[in-house]
Amino acid sequence: MTLQEITDADFEHEVLASDQPVLVEFWAQWCGPCHQVAPVLASIADERAGALRVVKLNSDENPVTSARYRVMGLPTMIVFRGGEPVHELRGARPKAALDREIDHALAV
């Protein structure tokens, strides 16, 4: 599964107004670790379908949202619940580590 691409224009509708938690990956085409974590996030999206949406936002093409959430390094992943950021992860990680952090973020 490829992750849905979102933009500054649809961020509010796709993430902040979502009925379910959303993990947003802030990425860029030039970012090697972003490409490394992409298949892991796609796998998480498949496994958690219905409980968690996973989307990606290109930081180079969508600087407004990236600046709003003070994204300074890539990849940065932020879990949103009820329109609010509840957990932030920076850098590529193994799937088991991402699963643990997502579980923690969703349990809060």
List the Cα angle 52/92/39 in 5-degree steps.
55
Cβ burial, residue 26 (10 Å; 0-12/13-18/19+): buried
Q: Catalytic pick from 15, 24, 31, 92? A: 31
User: What DSSP designation does 13 have?
Assistant: I
Q: Catalytic pick from 34, 57, 71, 102? A: 34
Active site (annotated) includes residue 31 = yes
Active site (annotated) includes residue 34 = yes
Catalytic machinery residues: 31, 34
